[in-house]
Structure formats: structure tokens, C-alpha cells
């Protein structure tokens, strides 16, 4: 199956195969080719170039992209897309004045979602999650990470991960799975967090690893959830079973979790709405990707990750949705890119680099996703006719996607 895109107004994010992430000042540059063609064969990008060298390929399906931009599909490295039901009532409670933390203290929040998920059958959970996945694919997401963490029992955590694995089998989108058993202390262990951590480390992690259900291990390192010492314990146990750390950290308080993540060679440290000098220092020189989740800040009305400071320190930055029922009921990466520009003051070039190349890195996929590179997955967004790529975040409320091709499948 050959797919030839011609007369592309601008082909964005062209990279050599040895570029796996973009950092600091380099993020201001988005390599592009004007008036271009792109050839995809058997789900792989095989070649591209300027229109004056367009090849004649008789057995290819040709798509004329006059006036349209083509870019790699979004790489959403942080989601909780497999969940049951919704938390609309808590949304209304917050409008009326309760904070996210106050709702959690009343037994709402993550525990509310866990209760719903435990009562939902695997089939129903799959059906609800597949609908969300189809929606985000149509919005241009071609690679996505999905976490557990709304099960909080061995059985329910495994159920979540099996659903995510089943999605990976049935859809062309690349899916990476993360075990987040330490997302909150379940009610049954309310007064004995350590006993719950015993369960996470001694039963859940070995089972997840044995059944090959996740590649990553995560923990919510935060005041009122899990401490830095708990983080050390869970990441050590995960690593022992071959799971690579990726953590939730610095959402509300900076308690030293960033340095702990770096110490454990975390692939990414996510949230970072609050960040200290010491956190920046810990990240400097490491291979850990800082990940910002601006839709979460938008929805909860909390500070935005200081992306500018992170880039000024020469560090890379990735952007992801955090799609989940409590803090971010949206998996729209277009909104994330726009919000990063509008609220975090990233330029369109920086935001697009963060949402493609660096997002791919943050889920261990930058060898195959995140850029227009010969040999990478044929996963691209074709925009509607737009004046420039800066128009994507500028016209933040419009759907500017004409079509999406994911791993060679034209949606």
C-alpha cells in the first residue's frame, strides 16, 4: 500500500533518525520543507522532498494537499484514558468553591473513580475507553501512553492494563502502558499506607511484569498521597521487575520527588506545576524528560508549568494531555498545544516540538514516532487549508484537521 501526498504547503518536523529529543534553545527551531511531497509505503515513511523532484509512482494512492500542512501525529505521553464513568458532580462542586484536594479528602477524586472502575466489567471498560481512543485519534494523536491507577486492587489494576493492551491490538495507534498502582491509598488501607505499598510492590508489580502488561511504573509523589521515601520504594521494586520509572510529581508541592525520579533514571517527570531551583538542577544533565500538562492546569485553575524557565535552563520539555476523569477530562492535543502557547508562552515551534518529538521520547517511542523521518511510522496529520502552522495554536477553538493517517491507516 503506497500513499503519496503532493503539493504540501509545508511539511513540518523533518528530522534525521539520530535526533531523539530537542532541548532548550533548539526547541525554537521547527525544521520544515515548503511545497513538498511525502511517500508512505507499508505503514512507513519512505521518502519526501520538494515538488520539483516528485516521483512518478503509478501504484500509489495520491492525495493532493494544496494549501495544507502535514506534520507528524501528536505523541501524548501521559494519559489515564482507561477509566469508568465520569466525575461531572465534582466539577460542579469545584465551581461552587471546593478545591480538588478538599474533594479528595471527602472520599471523592481518585477513590471515586476507583469505586466506579471496580464495579465496571472489563467489556464495558473496553467499550468506554475505545470510544475515547477513537476520538483522540481523529484529533491527531498517533501514539499514546495509558496508565492504570483507578483500580487500586490487584484485580482491577490488571483489568485496566488488559483493556489498554487490547486497545493496542485493535487500533493502529502506538500504545504504551504504565502501572500506577500507587496513585492513591485505597479506603481499605486508609490507616495503613505501608500495607498497601506492600501489596503494590510484592503482589501487583510482580504480576504486571509477569503478564507483560506494562513497560513503565508510576507513582503520585505528592503531599497527602505518596512521599519521596514511598517513591523510592515503588520505583526500586518496579525497576527490579524491569519496569522503567515515569512519575507524577510537583503538581501541588515540591517535596523533592523530581530529584528522586532522576536518581531512578525516570524516563519522564510529569506535572511540574510547581518547580524549584533544586528541581531544575536535578534535571540538568539527566536523560529525564520534564512533561507539562497544561489542560490540567486549565481545568483545575492551578498554575501552569513554568515551561519558559525549563527551556531557559537548556532542558527539553514535552507536552501531554493527562486525559482523566478528575483533573483533565480532555484528550485533545490541539488544545494542549494552543494552551502551551497562550498560557505558558511557548512559541508555536516550541509547542509543536514538545507535542511530537519530545512526547515520543517521553514514552520511549522517538525511534519510530514524533517526526517526519525516513523509516519512521507513517503517522501524519493533514491540516485544513491554513495560512501558516502558527495558525494551529492561534485559532485555538477551531478544528483545523482535515485528515489523519495513523501507521499507514487513513482515518
Q: Which residues here bind ligand NIG, judged by CB under 6 A?
A: 109-110, 113, 220, 248, 251, 296, 322, 324-327
Q: How far is the CB of 221 from ligand NIG (least distance, A)?
A: 10
Q: How far is the CB of 252 from ligand NIG (least distance, A)?
A: 9
Phi, then psi, of 7 in degrees rounded to 5? 55, 35
Query: Among residues 233 and 271, whose Cβ is nearest to ligand NIG?
Result: 271
CA–CA separation, 324 and 319 (whole Å): 15
Cβ contacts of 393 within 8 Å, gap of 6 or more: 337, 338, 340, 341, 342, 348, 351
Query: Among residues 273 and 322, whose Cβ is nearest to Fe ion?
Result: 322
Query: Among residues 37 and 220, whose Cβ is nearest to Fe ion?
Result: 220
Q: How far is the CB of 218 from Fe ion (least distance, A)?
A: 8
Applying CB under 5 A, the residues found at the interface with Fe ion are 322
Query: Among residues 91 and 394, whose Cβ is nearest to Fe ion?
Result: 91
Q: How far is the CB of 109 from ligand NIG (least distance, A)?
A: 5
Choose from ligand NIG, Fe ion, none: what does 120 bind? Cβ within 5-8 Å by kind: none
Query: Among residues 324 and 377, whose Cβ is nearest to ligand NIG?
Result: 324
Strand partners, 71: 381
DSSP string, 132-180: HHHHHHHTTEEEEEEE--S--SHHHHHHHHHHHHHHHHHSSSEEEEEEE
Choose from Fe ion, ligand NIG, none: what does 126 bind? Cβ within 5-8 Å by kind: none
Q: How many CB atoms lie within 10 A of CB 116?
A: 17
Query: Among residues 100 and 389, whose Cβ is nearest to ligand NIG?
Result: 100
- Beta strand 268-271 with 74-76: parallel, antiparallel or unpaired? unpaired
Q: At what angle do helices 122-138 and 154-170 cross, to 10 degrees?
A: 40
Choose from ligand NIG, Fe ion, none: what does 334 bind? Cβ within 5-8 Å by kind: none
Q: How far is the CB of 246 from ligand NIG (least distance, A)?
A: 12
- CB of 275 within 8 A of CB of 254? yes
Strand partners, 37: 49
Q: How far is the CB of 73 from ligand NIG (least distance, A)?
A: 22
Cell numbers at 143, concatenated? 501514539
Query: Among residues 126 and 323, whose Cβ is nearest to ligand NIG?
Result: 323
Choose from ligand NIG, Fe ion, none: what does 220 bind? Cβ within 5-8 Å by kind: ligand NIG
Q: How far is the CB of 259 from Fe ion (least distance, A)?
A: 20
Query: Among residues 297 and 407, whose Cβ is nearest to ligand NIG?
Result: 297
- Which 8-state DSSP code applies to residue 253? -
Choose from ligand NIG, Fe ion, none: what does 296 bind? Cβ within 5-8 Å by kind: ligand NIG
CA–CA separation, 81 and 205 (whole Å): 21
- For 36, the enclosing helix (H) or strand (E) is strand 32-41
Task: Provide the phi-psi class of 45: left if phi over 0, else alpha when psi is between -120 and 50, else beta.
Answer: beta
**Burial tier of 390 (Cβ tally within 10 Å: 0-12, 13-18, 19+):** middle
Q: How far is the CB of 387 from ligand NIG (least distance, A)?
A: 35
Choose from ligand NIG, Fe ion, none: what does 254 bind? Cβ within 5-8 Å by kind: none
Cell numbers at 354, concatenated? 514538545
Q: How far is the CB of 156 from ligand NIG (least distance, A)?
A: 14
Q: How far is the CB of 24 from ligand NIG (least distance, A)?
A: 26
- CB of 73 within 8 A of CB of 143? yes
Query: Among residues 148 and 324, whose Cβ is nearest to ligand NIG?
Result: 324
- For 334, the enclosing helix (H) or strand (E) is helix 333-344
Cell numbers at 253, concatenated? 508541592
Query: Among residues 215 and 322, whose Cβ is nearest to Fe ion?
Result: 322
Amino acid at each position: 500500500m503506497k500513499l503519496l501526498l503532493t503539493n504540501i504547503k509545508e511539511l513540518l518536523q523533518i528530522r534525521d533518525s539520530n535526533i531523539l529529543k530537542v532541548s532548550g534553545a533548539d526547541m525554537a527551531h521547527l525544521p520544515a520543507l515548503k511545497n513538498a511531497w511525502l511517500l508512505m509505503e507499508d505503514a512507513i515513511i519512505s521518502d519526501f522532498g520538494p515538488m520539483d523532484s516528485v516521483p512518478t509512482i503509478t501504484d500509489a494512492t495520491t492525495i493532493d494537499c494544496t494549501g495544507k500542512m502535514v506534520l507528524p501525529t501528536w505523541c501524548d505521553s501521559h494519559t489515564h484514558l482507561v477509566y469508568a464513568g465520569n466525575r461531572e458532580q465534582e466539577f460542579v462542586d469545584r465551581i461552587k468553591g471546593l478545591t480538588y484536594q478538599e474533594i479528595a479528602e471527602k472520599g471523592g477524586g481518585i477513590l471515586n473513580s476507583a469505586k466506579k472502575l471496580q464495579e465496571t466489567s472489563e467489556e464495558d471498560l473496553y467499550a468506554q475507553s475505545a470510544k475515547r481512543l477513537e476520538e483522540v485519534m481523529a484529533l491527531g494523536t498517533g501514539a499514546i501512553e495509558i496508565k492504570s491507577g483507578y483500580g487500586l486492587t490487584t484485580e482491577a489494576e490488571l483489568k485496566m492494563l488488559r483493556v489498554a493492551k487490547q486497545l493496542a491490538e485493535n487500533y493502529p495507534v502506538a500504545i504504551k502502558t504504565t502501572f500506577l498502582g500507587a496513585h492513591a491509598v485505597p479506603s481499605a488501607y486508609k490507616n495503613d499506607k505501608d500495607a498497601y505499598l506492600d501489596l503494590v510492590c510484592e503482589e501487583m508489580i510482580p504480576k504486571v511484569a509477569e503478564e507483560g502488561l506494562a513497560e513503565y511504573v508510576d507513582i503520585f509523589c505528592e503531599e497527602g498521597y505518596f512521599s519521596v521515601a514511598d517513591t523510592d520504594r515503588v520505583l526500586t521494586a518496579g525497576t527490579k521487575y524491569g519496569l522503567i520509572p515515569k512519575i507524577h510529581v510537583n503538581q501541588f508541592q515540591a517535596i523533592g520527588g523530581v530529584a528522586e525520579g532522576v536518581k531512578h533514571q525516570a524516563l519522564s517527570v510529569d506535572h511540574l506545576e510547581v518547580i524549584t531551583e533544586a528541581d531544575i538542577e536535578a534535571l540538568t544533565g539527566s536523560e529525564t524528560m520534564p512533561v507539562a500538562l497544561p489542560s490540567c492546569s486549565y481545568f483545575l485553575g492551578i498554575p501552569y508549568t513554568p515551561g519558559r524557565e525549563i527551556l531557559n535552563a537548556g532542558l527539553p520539555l514535552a507536552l501531554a494531555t493527562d486525559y482523566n476523569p478528575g483533573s483533565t477530562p480532555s484528550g485533545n492535543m490541539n488544545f494542549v498545544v494552543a494552551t502551551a502557547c497562550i498560557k505558558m508562552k511557548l512559541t508555536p515551534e516550541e509547542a509543536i516540538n514538545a507535542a511530537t518529538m519530545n512526547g515520543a521520547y517521553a514514552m520511549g517511542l522517538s525511534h519510530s514516532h514524533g517526526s517526519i523521518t525516513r523509516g519512521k511510522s507513517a503517522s501524519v496529520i493533514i491540516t485544513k487549508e491554513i495560512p501558516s502552522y502558527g495558525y494551529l495554536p492561534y485559532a485555538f477553538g477551531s478544528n483545523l484537521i482535515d485528515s489523519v493517517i495513523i501507521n499507514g491507516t487513513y482515518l
